[in-house]
């Protein structure tokens, strides 16, 4: 701390403080003569000259125990002080010696008490704001909703349940396999967001088909404010040019890479294996085994990565071998032998039967579900279990035309399907229609050809367009007054969501039922509010008629989702193709063979669905969604969001830094941030859509152009931490008028900080981060806030920050003594918090470990590594909690005045 030095010996490099302008920071003596002293104040970027005979300055000297920092950011704790040739040298343990000429200019402001006793106290309202921020941050840190608040998504129970369960794992290694339309991408985003926000993971790699790269990038950015780097050839080229020889995939913490790029670049695969990722995510995982080289790469990558998340809507449709390969990737020790896995699965029907009996009696089934093998790895929800999906209605429209004339790639303007589409547009006006076809050529011709039949705003979406153009066309279609038609090639079936549309026009039909399921899934998904009408025009006598009737009467795919599509198609593909080839060659449709194909398909589908509804599948679904637990989490999220605390805090914080936060329109949930008075160049960057943002979830979901500010949002954390790091509110001087007698009160805030460690996040959930608030009067008695006055902070007025600087008894004795008593009281509070944290830790972790041990006896899916990690965790966390250090965060000196 700074203190006055009597009869100092002047020397260049000495550190001094201005008593009249303490806000200038710590100054360096640059020159002096018989009349003048010149000080340079680097923090304020100014120079001052003072009369040597009456300079209002005092020498800075730190005392043993103070933590000081050098210009090159080294820190030491002072143990001894020596003076030589007018300069102080500070000594620490060993041979560490720092001359005051090497001190950082802002050093004297880092400690709240030093600020106070050097006359650098600020506004009492900023102290209150700091206290409020610290308390609110503590509540947020302890909230089970932390990490689940920031998604700009609806609070869908089954999605949140899966995300919560996955994030509870020590090593999250799971297969997300909800049916199409249930939101696997959102589930993955929730999981990643929660793990990143809570610090469980830092380095994430997402591997995708090329067609899904942009969709994932946009979803993560818009819905979760997660910015991922696109790892592609251009990125690698630029990274290697900037730093040759460096692994380009260690430069960014989170990245997205296409499977095509990985397989074309051996060097990229080798770099990825050395990337030291915490989590690897792969979508469309059922295609993983199609390329043995890629499968081998994924096995090697998964073996080096603690967390692995695979996504597929068709976990067993590519065959039991492919499904087993997915499970083996997640847990090779558990799933080591295919034959053993198949034999084990035969016993699941017994467990499913027992679960049904318990459910029928209204009894809990948790123990059976917990013990179920793949239930530890696989999460799968089906539409039948998740209510709220709309009905589907199909309209098959046979059209007369010469099939041979329509066998070319693009439709002619007089194609009866175009005429039919135009008629439909008129009939359902003003409703929108999503049109999907096989190829980009067909999409282009439909968009042009429809205009010859009617004038209608038509958007287009195909692979000839760049990503930005596709986005603009999709956004135009999404606008209420935008395009009425969106014509997509097959690429529109991959990941794009149009649940605001109820009319799906299938200009042609794909031969693979999985592609048809993807097409329908663009409109039949969570968020769809209306009955879906699927329009299927086909030319009589064509191969398209065969497909339409087979899908409708055989597979039943138009009316509802059907599981096992890959197996269905594989079984009947030869007969189906044979009929279609004959029709395409002009031989017409073999009606008898088609009738037999439809009958056999329908029987097989019924048998397959019955089989899938039994055994492991019912157990998986029961284990993948428990409404009571999900609704409890949603309740906590909603309670946090409904409180006005965050809005109020951000409004005051931003106003303090010169950013106006105003509601846009009367009773609006939309907020604008206007940095009219912002002059701090280092202030955190405003959100990318700061001009229009919201704190309301419903508004955020309805408006893609808004940022959604929650406790999880990076900008919220950055602003609050910036406020704290800048020392705002760390020291204050206040006046309380109307007191019963004159006196002083030292008000302090302490925080209990865990040491940095790999176990930090796990330990933080047990140790309360609430600030310790101590009030100590001038006699050394601890007070309660109510002892001063009701709601006393609102009664405080700003006081002169340095009114006591000339009172040696106050600065040299009274205030240090009050601080010591305050610290003693705070240490007692901290000891209680440590003890409570250890008790919570022992209870929770013992329960978790005991459960894993019990599970391991009946469920080989619980690995030995997971049990060992859980068993060793208490000792590491106990050491962290016991080693938590108390730190003074803020101090306020209150002068009591009997006056009114």
Whether the link from the prior residue into 425 is cis, omega within 30° of 0, is no
Q: Above 50 in pLDDT, residue 7?
A: no
In the numeric block, the tokens 């999900």 are attached to 630
Reply yes or no on whether the pLDDT at 701 is more than 50: yes
Chain centroid to Cα 773, Å, comes to: 32
If one counts every other C-beta atom within 10 angstroms of the C-beta of residue 866, the result is 20
The region of weakest confidence among 60-69, 294-303, 614-623, 758-767 is 614-623
Q: What rounded mean pLDDT belongs to the chain?
A: 85
Which pLDDT value is given to residue 667? 59
CB neighbours (10 Å) of residue 294?
17
User: How many CB atoms are closer than 10 A to CB 290?
Assistant: 10
**Do 598 and 549 contact (CB within 8 A), yes or no?**
yes
SS3 346: coil
* Cβ pair 100, 88 in contact under 8 A: yes
**pLDDT computed for residue 315 by the predictor:** 67
Tokens of 700: 């955020």
| The pLDDT of residue 412 | 64
Residue 450 in this model has a pLDDT that exceeds 90:
yes
The DSSP output letter for 564 is -
Query: Would you say 95 and 105 are in contact if contact means Cβ atoms under 8 Å apart?
Result: no
* Strand 532-539 with 503-506, pairing: parallel
List pLDDT tens digits, range 644-664: 789 999 999 999 999 998 888
pLDDT at 2: 43
More confident residue, 543 or 363: 543
Q: Give me the sign of the Cα torsion angle 215, 217, 221, 223.
A: positive
Angle, CA 423 vertex, CA 418 and CA 425 arms, to 5°: 95
Question: Which pair of tokens denotes residue 204?
Answer: 């994430």
Q: How does pLDDT run across 334-369, given as a tens digit for each residue?
A: 777 888 777 777 767 777 777 778 777 877 776 666
* pLDDT at residue 5 greater than cutoff 50: no
**Residues sharing a CB contact under 8 Å with residue 743, sequence separation 6 or more, in sequence order:** 777, 778, 779, 896
State the CB neighbour count (10 A cutoff) for residue 419. 18
Mention every residue, 6+ apart, whose C-beta is less than 8 A from residue 480: none
pLDDT at 835: 93
Q: Is the pLDDT of residue 487 over 50?
A: yes
- How much is the pLDDT for 860? 66
Q: Which residues contact 414 (CB under 8 A, 6 or more apart)?
A: none
Query: What local confidence, expressed as pLDDT, does residue 626 receive?
Result: 81
């Amino acid at each position: 701390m700074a203190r006055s030095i009597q009869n100092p010996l002047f020397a260049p490099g000495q550190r001094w403080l201005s008593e009249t302008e303490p806000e200038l920071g710590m100054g360096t003596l640059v020159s002096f003569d018989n009349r003048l002293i010149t000080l340079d104040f680097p923090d304020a970027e100014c120079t001052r000259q003072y009369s040597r005979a009456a300079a209002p300055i005092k020498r800075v000297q730190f005392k043993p125990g103070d933590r000081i920092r050098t210009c090159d950011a080294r820190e030491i704790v002072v143990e001894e002080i020596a003076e030589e040739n007018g300069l102080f040298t500070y000594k620490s343990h060993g041979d560490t010696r720092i001359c005051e000429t090497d001190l950082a200019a802002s050093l004297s402001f880092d400690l709240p008490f030093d600020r106070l006793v050097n006359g650098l106290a600020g506004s009492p309202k900023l102290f209150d704001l700091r206290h409020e921020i610290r308390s609110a941050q503590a509540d947020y840190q302890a909230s089970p909703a932390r990490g689940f608040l920031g998604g700009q998504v609806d609070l869908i129970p089954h999605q949140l349940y899966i995300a919560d369960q996955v994030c509870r794992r020590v090593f999250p290694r799971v297969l997300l396999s909800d049916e199409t339309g249930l939101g696997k991408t959102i589930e993955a985003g929730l999981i990643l967001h929660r793990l990143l926000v809570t610090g469980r993971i830092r380095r994430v790699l997402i591997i995708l088909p090329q067609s899904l790269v942009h969709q994932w990038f946009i979803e993560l950015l818009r819905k979760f404010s997660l910015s991922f780097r696109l790892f592609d050839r251009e990125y690698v080229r630029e990274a290697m040019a900037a730093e040759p020889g460096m692994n380009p995939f260690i430069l960014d913490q989170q990245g997205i890479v296409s499977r095509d790029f990985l397989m074309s670049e051996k060097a990229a695969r080798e770099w990825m294996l050395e990337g030291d990722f915490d989590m690897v995510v792969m979508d469309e995982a059922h295609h993983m085994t199609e390329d043995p080289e890629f499968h081998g790469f994924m096995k090697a990558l998964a073996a080096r990565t603690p967390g692995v998340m695979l996504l597929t809507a068709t976990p067993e449709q590519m065959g039991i071998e492919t499904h087993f390969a997915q499970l083996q990737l997640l847990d090779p020790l558990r799933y080591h032998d295919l034959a053993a896995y198949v034999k084990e699965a035969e016993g699941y029907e017994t467990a499913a039967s027992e679960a049904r009996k318990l459910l029928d009696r209204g009894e809990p089934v948790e123990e059976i579900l917990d013990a179920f093998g793949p239930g530890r790895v696989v999460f799968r929800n089906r539409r039948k279990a998740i209510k709220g999906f709309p009905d589907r209605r199909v309209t098959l429209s046979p059209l007369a035309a010469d099939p041979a004339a329509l066998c070319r790639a693009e439709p002619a303007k007089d194609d009866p399907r175009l005429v039919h589409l135009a008629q439909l547009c008129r009939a359902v006006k003003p409703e929108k229609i999503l049109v999907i076809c096989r190829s980009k050529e067909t999409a282009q011709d439909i968009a042009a050809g429809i205009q010859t039949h009617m004038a209608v705003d038509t958007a287009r979406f195909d692979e000839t367009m760049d990503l930005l153009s596709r986005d603009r066309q999709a956004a135009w279609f999404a606008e209420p007054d935008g395009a009425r038609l969106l014509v997509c090639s097959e690429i529109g079936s991959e990941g794009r969501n149009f649940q605001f549309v109820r009319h799906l026009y299938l200009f042609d039909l794909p031969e693979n039922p999985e592609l048809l399921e993807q097409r329908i899934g663009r409109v039949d998904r969570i968020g769809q509010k209306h009955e879906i009408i699927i329009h299927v025009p086909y030319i009589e006598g064509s191969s398209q008629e065969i497909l339409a009737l087979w899908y409708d009467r055989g597979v039943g795919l138009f009316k509802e989702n059907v599981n096992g599509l890959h197996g269905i198609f594989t079984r009947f593909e030869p007969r189906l193709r044979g009929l279609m080839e004959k029709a395409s060659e002009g031989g017409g449709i073999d009606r008898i063979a088609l009738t037999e194909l439809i009958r056999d398909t329908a029987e097989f589908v019924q048998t397959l669905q019955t089989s899938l509804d039994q055994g492991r599948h019912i157990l998986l679904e029961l284990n993948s969604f428990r409404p009571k637990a999900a609704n409890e989490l949603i309740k906590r999220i909603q309670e946090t969001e409904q409180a006005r605390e965050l809005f109020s805090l951000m409004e005051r914080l931003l106003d303090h830094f010169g950013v106006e936060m105003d509601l846009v329109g009367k009773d609006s949930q939309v907020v604008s941030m206007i940095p009219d008075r912002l002059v701090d160049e280092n202030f955190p960057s405003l959100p990318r859509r700061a001009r229009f943002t919201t704190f309301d979830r419903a508004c955020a979901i309805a408006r893609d152009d808004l940022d959604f500010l929650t406790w999880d949002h990076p900008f919220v954390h950055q602003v609050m931490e910036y406020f704290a790091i800048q020392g705002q509110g760390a020291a204050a001087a206040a006046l309380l008028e109307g007191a019963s007698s004159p006196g002083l009160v030292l008000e302090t805030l302490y925080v209990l900080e865990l040491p940095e460690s790999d176990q930090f996040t796990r330990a933080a959930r047990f140790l309360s981060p609430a600030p310790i608030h101590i009030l100590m009067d001038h006699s050394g008695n601890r007070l309660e806030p109510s002892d001063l006055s009701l709601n006393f902070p609102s009664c405080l007025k700003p006081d002169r920050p340095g009114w006591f600087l000339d009172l040696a008894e106050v600065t040299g004795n009274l205030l240090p003594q009050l601080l010591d008593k305050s610290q003693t009281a705070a240490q007692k509070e901290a000891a209680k918090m440590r003890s409570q944290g250890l008790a919570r830790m022992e209870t929770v972790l013992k329960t978790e470990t005991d459960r894993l041990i019990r599970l391991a006896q009946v469920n080989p899916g619980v690995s030995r590594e997971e049990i060992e990690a859980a068993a060793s965790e208490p000792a590491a966390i106990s050491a962290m909690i016991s080693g938590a250090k108390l730190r003074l965060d803020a101090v306020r000196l209150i002068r009591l005045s009997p006056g009114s």
